[in-house]
Structure 1
Amino acid sequence: MTKLFLVRHGQSLWNLENRFTGWQNIDITDAGIEEAKKAGIALKGQKINIAFTSVLIRAQHTLTIILDEMGKPDIPVIMDKALNERSYGDLEGLNKAETALKYGDEQVHAWRRSYDVVPPGGESLKDTYNRVIPYFEKEIVPLLRKDENVLIVAHGNSLRALIMYLENLSPDEILEREIATGVPITYIFDEHFHVSRKEN
């Protein structure tokens, strides 16, 4: 049975500092490196044919560590901005708590946690879904249908969009879903390309 492995990058510096990161190219912390190593250990022994990641360093660094830990540093890797984190536009780099003081908790909560409210100059989760899913269907689904196992190392919101698609979740349901850094999620497909099982 074909497997799809999803991993959110290890903790980044701006995760630690509670900043909006979005498309900013911020690397992972020492804790993030350890999370990536644990993800690699958890995936050791799994057959993976190809890996995908975003163009952002925190996801690429995490993927490199995972493949090294698995003893598979030579697996083909494809990088594409379609898998980037959701853009937070003008909020990127700002501290989340300070932003809430400036704009109000309710407004910041709407920017962060609604499905279709767009932060200034950025993307909603709906916008993120509308770039991630066409890329997934065009570039990744054909590989899965050929029984190739795929690893995707990406970001909280790009993976949230993908999980929404794979599990057929509503906007309200996906907004309740938290994705931990550096913890693999495995989807197993049957011969009809339906998700038959999910493993965390």
Structure 2
Amino acid sequence: MEARYTLVLLRHGESHYTQKNLFCGFGNDADLSDIGVREAALAGQRILKAGLEFDLAFTSVLKRAVKTLFLVQETLDCHWLPVVRTWRLNERHYGDLQGLSKTETAKKYGEAQVKTWRRSYDVRPPVLDKKDPRFCSSMAPYRDLDPSIIPVCESLKDTMERMLPFWHDEIAPKIKTGKRVLIIAHGNSLRGLMKYLKRLSDEEITKLEIPQAIPLVLELSENLQPIRDYYLASEEEVKTAKAKVGVKDNVK
């Protein structure tokens, strides 16, 4: 089967929260670390070297993804590129774990429980109280949203359910008109999209890791089914990037 469309996915570069091994997620607007800035620029260079061009980009409203996109645009010299930002592409909401140390959380609850919260498909972490100052309804990107739709915790399944309507209503139709699309988002929002596109089982998705700042190219059929997918990096570079995330996580 011959590919009809090309879609590029990119997980943002390292953030300060990743660097400190903290749970980040939906409501923490963590900035890129210095390493993350360099990773984003390198991602742009990989895209440039591959000769890929875009007509439209989508990202979340979180600065680590927005800045990664800006740095890719800087490298590609495509500041004109139309960009759509949406909370529906935000990272998964880690509930009451938000902002906590992953290492300390594992010590408190046990590694098995934390692994279940983090890697399972449909298990939610502890709920964040809406009276908690970490609840983000008053933050500028969410002020116009009905507070009832702002999550207080999410499983990967929940993340998919708030992300996929945007895929069906906004992104997929643009791809089908021939637009060359770049999506820069987060580990779990991109894992959710990959689960949907590749029809991965609940078990298979728990094993899927998307490394930071390495572009993932998907060649899609007419009905947007992946025919082929590959990273713009060597196997060793991808392996190293995945291991880096694994070391940061501390919970395997």
- What range is the shorter-chain TM-score in? over 0.9
CA shift, 1:103, in A, is 1.3
The whole-number CA distance in structure 1 between the counterparts of 2:223 and 2:166 is: 21
TM-score (norm 1): 0.97
- Aligned with 2:47 (options 43, 49, 52): 43
Report whether the alignment pairs 1:177 with 2:183: no
Q: Are 2:198 and 2:225, in contact at CA under 8 Å, matched by a contact in 1?
A: no
Of 2, 9, 23, the residue aligned with 2:12 is 9
Question: Unaligned stretches of 5+ in structure 2?
Answer: 128-152, 232-252
Q: Quote the residue 1:154 is aligned against.
A: 185
Please point out which of 73, 80, 92 is paired with 2:79: 73
- Residue in structure 2 matching 1:18, options 17, 21, 34: 21
**TM-score, normalised by the number of residues in structure 2:** 0.77
Count of aligned pairs: 200
Alignment partners' CA distance in 1, 2:174 and 2:194? 18
Is the partner of 2:227 in helix, strand or coil?
A: strand
Tell me the distance in 1 between the aligned counterparts of 2:223 and 2:186.
28
Query: Share of identical aligned residues, percent?
Result: 45
1:190 shift after superposition: 2.9
SS at 1:62 equivalent: helix
Look up the equivalent residue of 1:11 and give its one-letter code.
Answer: E
Q: CA deviation at 1:192?
A: 4.3
SS of equivalent residue, structure 2 residue 58: strand
Alignment gaps of 5+ in structure 1: none
Select the structure of larger CA radius of gyration. Answer: 2
1:117-152 per-position Cα deviation (integer Å, ceiling 9, x unaligned):
100121000100111112111100001101111000
The aligned residue for residue 33 of structure 1 is 37
Alpha-carbon separation, structure 2, partners of 1:132 and 1:165: 11
* Structure 1 letter corresponding to 2:212: T
